[in-house]
Amino acid sequence: MPTTTNIDHLRQQLTGTVAARGEAAYDDLRSCWNLTVDLQPELIIAAADEADVQAAARYAAEHNLPITVLATGHGQPRNCQGGIVIRTSAINHVEVEPASRTAKVGGGAVWGDVIAAAHPHGLAPLSGSSPNVGVVGYLLGGGYGLMLRTYGLGIDHVKAFRVVLSDGTAVTASAESHTDLFWALQGGGGSFGIVTEVTVGLVPHAEVYAGSMMFPADRAPEVYAVYGRWTKTLPNDLTTGLIMISFPPVPFVPEFLQGRQMVILTACMAADPERANELLQPMRDLGPEFDFMGVMPFTESARVYNDPVDPLPANGRGILLRDVDDEALAKLLEAIGPMAYSPNLMIQLRHLGGAMANRAESDSPIGDRRRATYVLYLLGVTMGPVTMEMMAGHAESVFAALQPWTLSRGPLNWLGEGAVSAEEIRSVFGDADYERLCAVKRTYDVRNAFRCAGVGICDA
Ligand SMILES: Cc1cc2nc3c(=O)[nH]c(=O)nc-3n(C[C@H](O)[C@H](O)[C@H](O)COP(=O)(O)OP(=O)(O)OC[C@H]3O[C@@H](n4cnc5c(N)ncnc54)[C@H](O)[C@@H]3O)c2cc1C
């Protein structure tokens, strides 16, 4: 049990900060981007370096306390009452090695840190739609990025993870060392240890052809039908998504979109503009109301999805689809219903496949989920009369309509918050990979210290 005396002793060992419940720093350190998350641990330790993380893990082991990690709070850190939250955000170094096109990235860095450090070398990471999301949290869930069809998942470019285990020892997990742990970390979530550094591969693109095209939502049937057929013809060069969105009439939304329902095509392409224009022509032929596609430095890649930056009470959930055809897309639109009445503000269909399917299924816990060709993700914000239950109910009715085309729940990064059932978590991986994850968990987290980490994997 933490006492004033043993907390003071812990403080003496750390460079970073320790905040106990009731202390001044506690509320600041427990704050999450997702405002639905209300972390109430016994202690929060804002680690300054790997040694701090080790000391924190040893302290938790001595007192038999559960541990969870908080980087940005974009994911779903669980409450961890009675336990310890290790805040990693100060461990955010990025060291780019241009010759090997790799970067060593601190366990609490966000993608924006890596994008900024890589860009002067003409390099880019395999980041996702928001530069504010944590590098490690994103990778532990697979990493579904802006150039996924060209380069595969974010984890397909991880060379090594440096990990502090629940007893405080630090190990390197890679293709050469602790290979079972390396396998689990490539998409199996944060239930195995605390990542203090990850070495990632970078790709040679200072610029991309990227952006969005916007159509009024009443054109959805035509736009979805063309998108479904068009994506089947695309080479791996182009990664796209189609978003149905209801813009709230609030100041952070540009005035010309406030209160409007739109269908937005997003695209990112690591190839020359002429080729990009050629590939995008069938969607341009539909006559978008706004066309914001063009060449941009990768440092501006946040403009592809324009994800919200400020904290929000957001809640989303997703499914992986084997494939979609005209019938599936018609059912999707029918199930969504008029956007004006949907409790979910945004419905994203992202095109997967391409290089994502190139790696062997046995290489990572993503397993046969690599064969998914689309991911469908619904996201709402609890405001006004809209509750979590309304958003979840609407999402579940959409998923039910798409059952014949569904491969599984997930992916882990979009599984959903709150009451995610054990079956839903297992469905993200499939039985065999889930059992293999549990075996790794039993080896590396013997006392089940990470039982309140993110989405609960093998922690019952
Ligand atoms: C606006 C937005 C855009 C997104 N876009 C994408 C996208 O394009 N592609 C995609 O794949 N995902 C995307 N996501 C999902 C995102 O990748 C996950 O929510 C991810 O878990 C967030 O990680 P975080 O570190 O930022 O958040 P946190 O909530 O701080 O962490 C989430 C979980 O990750 C684990 N974790 C984090 N850091 C560590 C560490 N150092 N060691 C061990 N465990 C750790 C913990 O279990 C923690 O509970 C998006 C989410 C949001 C909100």
Domain assignment of residue 236, yes or no: yes
Q: Which of 177-186, 270-279, 396-405, 450-459 shows the lowest per-residue confidence on average (mean pLDDT)? A: 450-459
Take atom 14 of ligand 1 and give the residue whose Cα is closest.
Answer: 413
Length of the chain: 460
Together in a domain, 391 and 269: yes
Ligand 1 geometric centre to CA of 75 (Å) = 5
315 lines ligand 1 (CB under 6 A): no
Domain assignment of residue 167, yes or no: yes
Percentage of the chain beyond pLDDT 70 is 99
- Tokens 């690591």, located at residue: 270
Together in a domain, 411 and 263: yes
Q: Look at the pTM and tell me if it is higher than 0.95.
A: yes
Domain assignment of residue 200, yes or no: yes
Together in a domain, 145 and 226: no
Structure tokens belonging to residue 53 = 């993380």
Element spanning 210, H or E: strand 207-216
List of E strands, 270-392: 290-291, 294-297, 314-321, 346-351, 374-381
Domain boundary among 25, 56, 87: 87
Looking at the structure of the chain, the number of domains it has is 3
pLDDT above 80 (res 453): no
Q: Please state the atom number of ligand 1 nearest to the C-alpha of residue 71.
A: 30
Q: Using CA of residue 399, residue 405, residue 409, residue 414, what is the dihedral sign?
A: negative
Q: Please state the atom number of ligand 1 nearest to the C-alpha of residue 193.
A: 43
Kindly state the average pLDDT of the residues 311-319: 91
Together in a domain, 116 and 61: no
pLDDT above 90 (res 253): no
Domain boundary among 87, 106, 126: 87
**Residue among 37, 86, 133 to mutate when testing ligand 1 (max atoms within 8 A of CB):** 133
Element spanning 443, H or E: helix 431-444
Domain assignment of residue 319, yes or no: yes
pLDDT above 70 (res 418): no
Together in a domain, 120 and 9: no
137 lines ligand 1 (CB under 6 A): yes
Domain CATH code at residue 231: 3.40.462.20
Structure tokens belonging to residue 378 = 């619904």
- Residue 258 and residue 248 in contact, taking contact as beta carbons nearer than 8 Å: yes
User: Could you give the angle at the alpha carbon of 307 between the alpha carbons of 301 and 313, nearest 5°?
Assistant: 155
Ligand 1 geometric centre to CA of 301 (Å) = 18
413 lines ligand 1 (CB under 6 A): yes
Domain assignment of residue 336, yes or no: yes
- Tokens 């479904």, located at residue: 228
Percentage of the chain beyond pLDDT 90 is 83
Element spanning 231, H or E: helix 220-231
36 lines ligand 1 (CB under 6 A): no
- Residue 69 and residue 194 in contact, taking contact as beta carbons nearer than 8 Å: yes
Together in a domain, 173 and 246: no
Domain assignment of residue 213, yes or no: yes
**pLDDT tens-digit series, residues 99-122:** 999 999 999 999 999 999 999 999
Mean residue pLDDT across the chain? 94
Comparing 154 with 389, the larger pLDDT belongs to: 154
Quote the domain boundaries for residue 322.
Answer: 207-419
Domain CATH code at residue 40: 3.30.43.10
pLDDT at residue number 3: 80
At 419, the pLDDT band (50, 70, 90 cuts) reads low
Buried b (16+ CB within 10 A) or exposed e, 217-228: beebeebbebbb
pLDDT at residue number 421: 83
Together in a domain, 99 and 50: no
pLDDT at residue number 71: 95
Domain boundary among 68, 87, 106: 87
194 lines ligand 1 (CB under 6 A): yes
